[in-house]
Structure 1
């Protein structure tokens, strides 16, 4: 029996020696073959657009390992220009550099016998990716010449390629965009990408559970800051996470703000335009269709969440404003004019404060009005006409605390298919003290509310491009206002007692119902000023309702303008009023026009 064991042991040893010899031979002699094959695959699969260069290729056939050192995938600019002339060039090119590309545990036997390449892991050390984007309209119009898929490019070499995991750490990414003769650049550093279960075969591209042959792509970017090409604004975030399997995108600490402070911004702009600062702790997108976004630049998502944020809008009336007709530029009309399709089922607003600041061009002080801790939802946010045929309205249901005091609940409805920009808005405001509005009235109009108890406001309005109409109800009592003098050298400010007295006793009702028990309802029919924005028109319409509820009719304004003849019958101190009636009438008339009619400020300033 012993000779048999000798033969068995000898055979095994011989087999091992032969296997080791084969592995050694192929490891040392296949290198030029593999190198030639790699370059052939790259050249053939990209129609000659790219060439592959590297410093060294280390193969270990026995372990199924390979390492590519200092590899570089280089686009050929001359080839690209010829492709542009032939209208065959892609919009995007890539220049990739990798310090080490490590392939672990690939099966040589399957690659040789079955033309199937199975790889356990691919590791990329210090990859650098430069994406160059150059838009070509022929890629939108030419459809008769279908491009080769990745599988079609490799099927003569491999019938299938499967990679379980790909890991890339410390990625440097550079994005260069050429558009209309302009060049913009964006840089990212220290990004991390993991790709799970890559399968390239005859059927994988049609697998709906995969995104471009992959089961999952994870992207983590620790920080980003980008100066926008306009030279005024920048965008930044602290973190970005993308999960293609869960179809989620998460931004943290997002900011969009000017690159300079407010005075410098307006000094450079040289005109009164809106300056915006947006900040959100969390911006989350759920169930985003990545394939539509990448292929067709369509943004389709189930939900977008804006959480713990602030929106600050500013204006400066010390600078000129150049009126532009705003007809057709309401929010829903702008959405419909977008060239790319947008469809968001729900947008959730969670604890976002909105503040409007304005610098007075007359008193050189800044006033503000705020809507604090806003919450609510917007639904059917889309410009997809097919979807809008089923439901043509985009809706918003929002709650906030105005001036961080009164509870405001507002609802909006936008007819997205209306040729006249039809929309609705309704709302209620709960109890609050009217003095809270001094934060905007005193700096901008030199007016203060000394008392006023707002019990309830309710409005139900409709509007188009040309007018707003509806009903406004305003329940209040004990309303008193002061007209202020300019601040003196000591920094104190007194009121214009006579003018204030006349306004409180002649112009406005101090309560609704008034002292006669009559309840005033605002019947609004407001003709839009074409140069006014959507939101300014909305405010002017509500202001018309406020004026009617407080009793500021055209007749009362006319009565006030005639105080020169009747002022002594209004106030016991007739002597003082008779002597100053004309001056009071002029000043009060100008104030009323400035406060309620909102006429051109420059004209009012010249009268005063």
Structure 2
């Protein structure tokens, strides 16, 4: 009986304690919310130096569950404060506006906080966040004198540590406005996720450089990101993007830049048309904070694997045909970027490149290709400090020209020279010359009927003004067929000209005989102002290839003189024919009058 009585007393005590806890929880939930609201608003206002205000509709504290929930949170900047700071040149580059449907803090440990002064939260979940970010480049370095104390030093008087197991932002909607260019660039992300793991602020982590924002890792992911360029000529898409602060690695999968249909593109623009695809891009040691704050791109290595680039020259030509195209030189283009770039190494693997051009004379399109291209670019930068240490960028490229001949090229670019100095040397391995016909027939109206390249080697030094160097083309059994437009067959042979070219002009072999010394040539090419970089490279090489095949300056002048002579004789024949027809007509009229 006594035992039963003790059980009843114990049960009554437990029920009483439970009832008191429930009643206490109710009153805490009831009356604590306004106090918390005032405290949170005060902290946000003071920590942002009055730039941001926060508000929420309600807050619930569930003591037994160890859970705290905020509803309908809104974080807004005070534009008056921002504009005042902007005039003082201390405004931040990024301005943020945030709305949260719900903020949940799970597994809160109030006893640890009370007895051990440790704030320990299992996880924080932000539901359906809507984020608006505006970017203006107000400064390139921090301008505000900051409190030099670490977060640990700031909290150490009241807390021993702050620990959050995980933070999740799922299904984030982000609208990003970039005011740094001539026009406002607007980007929208709808399938974005953000997570952070093991946030810890204590005496040890205040100097732990392996953590970012005191988190072991922050992961940013975007899926199915699409958009359109401001001019409406291209759409772009990224299948998946992931940034990890633990590895300082940015990974992009399935990047595509797609132009509108060719006819529409060329009707709207004088620009060259590009179609670009990249399977994967990986940036190692990517400085994501530098990019976020100052739009600086800094990475130790960028790896580009798989994909294609298709370039189609605009048939209408440039809007200003005589405009100087020096800006197309890679070293000049890099220096003209407003974005600060510093990349130690860029690696390219398994990339296919095609260049196409429409010839109005043949009414056909010719294409040259560089297949399975791999390469390495070193010291790609326009950063002033980096250029002071090393102003040369080196690019090694290996490819298969027309998917046949192996091409090896080494480029060197002076990144600070006022005349855009550069050099390139390399060689093209054995291939059949007939494999070049997809380019030579439409563009040059020349069909190569036989021939084999044994080796093409070149070593050129140049600038935006002139290129000089040495070239040797070794080949055998070169024969061609000269073509002209035909309304029925597209292109047909010029029989007499072909016979003359093969018999009297072309040199069919180099060297001319087995064991003989090969013909080599020094080349000099003065660049016209309206020639872009790659056209300059090609024309420089072509100025050495032509004499190798027999088309030296004297021969070309003789051919031109012969063409002029033939044209003159043709005109004389036409004139005589017209006179004969006129005399016949006059005689016919005289006969008619006599009758």
| TM-score, normalisation: structure 2 | 0.86
Residue of 45, 48, 52 corresponding to 2:47:
45
Please list, as runs of the form range in 1=range in 2, the aligned pairs for 1:267-282 lying within 5 A after superposition: 267-269=267-269, 272-282=270-280
Tell me the secondary structure at the aligned position of residue 211 of structure 1. coil
In 2, Cα distance between the equivalents of 1:47 and 1:217?
26
Q: Name the residue aligned to 2:484.
A: 485
Q: Name the residue aligned to 2:459.
A: 460
User: Within the alignment, does 1:209 sit opposite 2:210 as a pair?
Assistant: yes
Please list, as runs of the form range in 1=range in 2, the aligned pairs for 1:330-349 lying within 5 A after superposition: 330-349=329-348
CA contact (8 A) 1:119 1:163 kept: yes
CA contact (8 A) 1:522 1:544 kept: no
Shift of 1:5: 10
In the superposition, relative to structure 1, how do residues 383 and 80 fare at CA in structure 2: closer, same or farther (>3 Å)?
closer
Residue of 108, 122, 130 corresponding to 1:120:
122
Further displaced range: 67-76 or 118-127: 67-76
Tell me the secondary structure at the aligned position of residue 441 of structure 2. helix
Shift of 1:390: 4.7
CA contact (8 A) 1:328 1:421 kept: no
Q: Deviations over 1:407-442 (max 9, x none)?
A: 111111223343432222111111111112221222
User: Within the alignment, does 1:256 sit opposite 2:257 as a pair?
Assistant: yes
Tell me the secondary structure at the aligned position of residue 486 of structure 2. coil
Residue of 92, 96, 99 corresponding to 2:98:
96
In 2, Cα distance between the equivalents of 1:468 and 1:538?
8
Tell me the secondary structure at the aligned position of residue 295 of structure 1. helix
- What value does the CA root-mean-square deviation take over the aligned residues? 3.3
User: Within the alignment, does 1:178 sit opposite 2:197 as a pair?
Assistant: no
Q: Deviations over 1:226-269 (max 9, x none)?
A: 112233223211111111101111111101232x2111111011
Q: Name the residue aligned to 2:588.
A: none
In 2, Cα distance between the equivalents of 1:420 and 1:408?
27
Q: Deviations over 1:542-596 (max 9, x none)?
A: 111102222322222233345599xxxxxxxxxxxx9999559xxxxxxxxxxxx
Q: Name the residue aligned to 2:240.
A: 239
In 2, Cα distance between the equivalents of 1:300 and 1:179?
19
Residue of 306, 310, 313 corresponding to 1:312:
310
Q: Name the residue aligned to 1:403.
A: 402
In 2, Cα distance between the equivalents of 1:86 and 1:492?
69
In the superposition, relative to structure 1, how do residues 412 and 178 fare at CA in structure 2: closer, same or farther (>3 Å)?
closer
In the superposition, relative to structure 1, how do residues 10 and 558 fare at CA in structure 2: closer, same or farther (>3 Å)?
closer
Shift of 1:496: 0.9
Please list, as runs of the form range in 1=range in 2, the aligned pairs for 1:156-555 lying within 5 A after superposition: 161-179=162-180, 182-200=183-201, 207-258=208-259, 260-269=260-269, 272-319=270-317, 321-322=319-320, 323-327=322-326, 329-488=328-487, 490-491=488-489, 493-514=491-512, 517=516, 519-555=518-554
In 1, Cα distance between the equivalents of 2:300 and 2:195?
25
In the superposition, relative to structure 1, how do residues 177 and 275 fare at CA in structure 2: closer, same or farther (>3 Å)?
same
In 2, Cα distance between the equivalents of 1:84 and 1:148?
26
Shift of 1:113: 5.8
Tell me the secondary structure at the aligned position of residue 362 of structure 1. coil
In 2, Cα distance between the equivalents of 1:245 and 1:145?
26
In 2, Cα distance between the equivalents of 1:148 and 1:81?
28
Please list, as runs of the form range in 1=range in 2, the aligned pairs for 1:104-115 lying within 5 A after superposition: 104-112=106-114
Gaps of 5+ in 2: 572-595
In 2, Cα distance between the equivalents of 1:527 and 1:156?
74
In the superposition, relative to structure 1, how do residues 141 and 295 fare at CA in structure 2: closer, same or farther (>3 Å)?
closer
Q: Deviations over 1:323-367 (max 9, x none)?
A: 222346521232234344322222111110111011123333211
In the superposition, relative to structure 1, how do residues 130 and 419 fare at CA in structure 2: closer, same or farther (>3 Å)?
same
Tell me the secondary structure at the aligned position of residue 550 of structure 2. coil
- What is the total number of aligned residue pairs between the two structures? 567
CA contact (8 A) 2:273 2:314 kept: no
Tell me the secondary structure at the aligned position of residue 531 of structure 2. coil
Further displaced range: 199-208 or 49-58: 199-208
Q: Deviations over 1:469-489 (max 9, x none)?
A: 22111111111122212223x
Please list, as runs of the form range in 1=range in 2, the aligned pairs for 1:550-565 lying within 5 A after superposition: 550-561=549-560, 563=562
In the superposition, relative to structure 1, how do residues 561 and 301 fare at CA in structure 2: closer, same or farther (>3 Å)?
closer
Shift of 1:15: 6.5
Shift of 1:518: 5.5
In 1, Cα distance between the equivalents of 2:392 and 2:86?
43
CA contact (8 A) 1:169 1:191 kept: yes
Gaps of 5+ in 1: 566-577, 585-608
Tell me the secondary structure at the aligned position of residue 539 of structure 1. helix
